[in-house]
């Protein structure tokens, strides 16, 4: 089976082997083996494992283990907040993977969408990612836009690339904020120490800007509203950690796992981050549409635990 990927800007400047490993969710050694066997093509031609990729590059790989993975419709309930003939906005539950991949072949958002939309989804991102215009992490809940047609997908992708797509989040972060509002303007790229992570870096990076405002300050935590001007991988999590206020419960970019750190985040089971608002120009009508979701129960429960909700 051929698996194909069109690289978003997050991978501009990354090596082929590390990129393939992340896309397939396998080890770097496994990806290098596939490349050495000639089972990976970049823009239709074989490439070395050290090849530097660019935004828009087309990767194709023959991955025999993926032949057993098929995105099948599953009757999983969806929290749909907007829907028409071109697109829909869903409120993804925390803990749900967006699309099938090794280790997550079933019970993903795509499986649920295939059932809900009866297969009427954009095919731009391939058979395992139908309709997926942008993603949020497994343990980040909230609003996600889905395209039903290639026309809608292309138009929405243009808005994301032009940074005219509105995305606002709520997050609870560690520490006391020095200012009630601010902007983190720091480029993000692959970490040189750990290619599975992102980092603030000047090497092979892209501009990244996150605007934040303080909702309420607590003893050891702060509740923030954040707006993405750009949309880099893990942007909020990386930027907040960079300024010394990592997202509470973040297993990757959070503080050292000391007893003191763990005491305040028990029960979170992942980063306390929620995609609460999404706004876009409708690809067919040109109308600006904005959808907002209420804070979920797990977020409110954590606020209670730090003294924020009665």
Q: Is the Cβ–Cβ distance between 171 and 272 less than 8 Å?
A: yes
Q: Report the C-alpha gap between 172 and 190 in whole angstroms.
A: 25
Q: Indicate the range of 23-32, 261-270, 278-287 predicted with least confidence.
A: 261-270
Q: Where in the chain is the domain with CATH 3.30.2350.10?
A: 80-162, 166-278+290-305
pLDDT at 197: 87
For the cut 70, the answer to whether the pLDDT of residue 264 exceeds it is no
Superfamily of domain 2-68: RNA-binding S4 domain (3.10.290.10)
The CATH topology of domain 166-278+290-305 is Pseudouridine synthase (3.30.2350)
Query: Which residues face 159 on adjacent strands?
Result: none
Q: Where in the chain is the domain with CATH 3.10.290.10?
A: 2-68
- Which helix (H) or strand (E) is 150 found in, with range? helix 150-161
Total-model pTM: 0.79
How do residues 155-183 score in pLDDT, each as one tens digit? 999 998 888 999 999 999 999 999 999 99
- Tell me the H-state helices in 220-258: 235-242
The mean per-residue pLDDT over the stretch 213-225 comes to 96
Question: Which residue among the candidates 17, 86, 137, 139 is catalytic per the annotation?
Answer: 137
DSSP SS3 for 128 = coil
How do residues 234-262 score in pLDDT, each as one tens digit? 999 999 999 999 999 999 999 865 444 55
Please state which CATH class domain 80-162 belongs to.
alpha beta
Cα dihedral across residues 234, 237, 240, 241: positive or negative: negative
Percent of the chain clearing pLDDT 90 (strictly above):
56
Banded model confidence at residue 309, pLDDT cuts 50, 70, 90: low
Residue 185 known to be catalytic? no
For the cut 70, the answer to whether the pLDDT of residue 62 exceeds it is yes
How do residues 12-22 score in pLDDT, each as one tens digit? 888 998 888 88
């Amino acid at each position: 089976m051929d698996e194909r990927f069109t690289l978003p800007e997050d991978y501009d400047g990354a090596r082929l082997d590390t990129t393939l490993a992340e896309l397939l969710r396998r080890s770097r050694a496994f990806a290098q083996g596939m490349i050495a066997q000639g089972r990976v093509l970049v823009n239709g031609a074989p490439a070395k494992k050290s090849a530097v990729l660019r935004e828009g590059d087309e990767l194709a790989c023959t991955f025999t283990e993926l032949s057993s993975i098929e995105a099948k419709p599953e009757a999983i309930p969806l929290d749909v907040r907007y829907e028409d003939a071109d697109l829909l906005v869903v409120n993804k539950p925390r803990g749900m993977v967006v699309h099938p991949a090794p280790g997550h072949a079933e019970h993903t958002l795509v499986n649920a969408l295939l059932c809900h939309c009866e297969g009427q989804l954009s095919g731009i991102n391939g058979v395992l990612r139908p309709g997926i215009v942008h993603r949020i992490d497994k343990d980040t809940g909230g609003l996600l836009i889905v395209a039903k047609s290639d026309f809608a997908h292309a138009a929405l992708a243009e808005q994301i690339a032009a940074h005219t797509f509105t995305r606002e989040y709520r997050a609870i972060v560690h520490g006391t904020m020095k200012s009630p509002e601010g902007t983190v303007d720091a480029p993000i790229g692959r970490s040189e120490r750990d290619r599975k992570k992102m980092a603030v870096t000047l090497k092979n990076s892209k501009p990244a800007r996150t605007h934040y405002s303080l909702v309420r300050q607590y003893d050891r935590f702060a509740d923030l509203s954040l707006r993405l001007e750009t949309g880099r991988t893990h942007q909020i999590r990386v930027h907040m950690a960079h300024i010394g206020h990592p997202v509470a419960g973040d297993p990757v970019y959070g503080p050292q796992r000391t007893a003191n750190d763990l005491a305040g985040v028990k029960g979170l089971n992942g980063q306390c981050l929620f995609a609460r608002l999404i706004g876009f120009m409708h690809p067919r009508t040109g109308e600006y549409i904005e959808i907002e979701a209420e804070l979920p129960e797990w977020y409110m429960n954590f606020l209670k635990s730090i003294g924020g909700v009665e």
